[in-house]
Amino acid sequence: MTFDPLELQVVLPVFNEVESLPVLWDELSTVLDAHWSRVEVIFVDDASTDGSGAWLRALAEKDPRVRYVRLARHAGLTAALDAGYQRVTSPIFVTLDSDLQSNPADIPRLVAALEGADAAMGSRIRRDDTLVKRWSSRIANTVRNALTHEHVRDSACTLRAFRQECRTALLPYNGMHRFVPTLLRMAGYRVAEVPVVHRARRFGASKFGLGRASRGFHDLLVVRWMQRRALRYTIDRDA
């Protein structure tokens, strides 16, 4: 017996988003139904404690398109994304936050951008966030670009589309989700930026705070070191 290959997979990290999930699923399934016939949605539960896991297990039991993965202990966004990457088999995959601040309606435009690129990064042109979050993000992106010699408008937006082969550049180290565009370019992949909608948080509280700035700067220094030490050579002749 043979099965039709998947056209698209969507990876969604989840941590304590039980109120957002029903709304998210209604929006996401509507978009997927309108554009693709063979899809899989991989929810990676980062050891939620608010009932998100029970809701997702019930969804997976009734909808064959849904795959539920639960981490044994809370490990953070990079780990949840990596657990999803490891389960990708489709030629194209998308990543998306589960807090409703990204709009699933942007997914088709990101995927369409892959006609001329290997990966398409969402860029939140107009952020519906607090002033502190907007300015901290702007400062972080400015510093990243200055040290990496990049011109990435929004390095930390999780709404992204990839060709499957890009997984090799998505390093399994904590914090690397902030540097995906740079890591991809270092590996020779073509990266496009696509403007996407950003919405205010409707439920719960943000999982991120200013305390991550120090960790992010240390990670940035590591990425800069990797850029400077990357192997660069060409073969003159293969005997």
Domain ranges of the chain: 8-229
pLDDT for position 139: 61
pLDDT for position 1: 40
Q: Confirm if 8 and 36 have CB atoms less than 8 A apart.
A: yes
pTM of the predicted structure, to 2 decimals: 0.85
Q: Confirm if 169 and 186 have CB atoms less than 8 A apart.
A: yes
pLDDT for position 125: 79
DSSP secondary structure, the chain, as one string: ---PPPSEEEEEEESS-TTHHHHHHHHHHHHHHHH-SSEEEEEEE-S-SSSHHHHHHHHHHH-TTEEEEE-SS---HHHHHHHHHTT--SSEEEE--SSSSB-GGGHHHHHHGGGG-SEEEEEESS--S-HHHHHHHHHHHHHHHHHHT---S-TT---EEEEGGGGGGS--STTGGGGHHHHHHHTT--EEEEEE-B----SS--S--GGGHHHHHHHHHHHHHHHHH------S---
pLDDT for position 175: 86
Pick the CATH number of 8-229 from 3.40.50.720, 3.90.190.20, 3.90.550.10, 3.30.420.40: 3.90.550.10
**Residue pLDDT, tens place only, 193-206:** 999 988 877 777 66
Nearest Cα to Cα of residue 189 among 165, 160, 159: 165
pLDDT for position 184: 93
**Residue pLDDT, tens place only, 122-178:** 998 776 555 556 555 666 666 666 666 677 777 778 999 999 999 999 988 888 888
pLDDT for position 2: 43
Print pLDDT tens along the chain (239 aa): 444 578 999 999 999 999 999 999 999 999 999 999 999 999 999 999 999 999 999 999 999 999 999 999 999 999 999 999 999 999 999 999 999 999 999 999 999 999 999 999 999 877 655 555 655 566 666 666 666 667 777 777 899 999 999 999 998 888 888 889 999 999 999 999 999 988 877 777 665 555 566 777 777 777 788 888 877 767 777 76
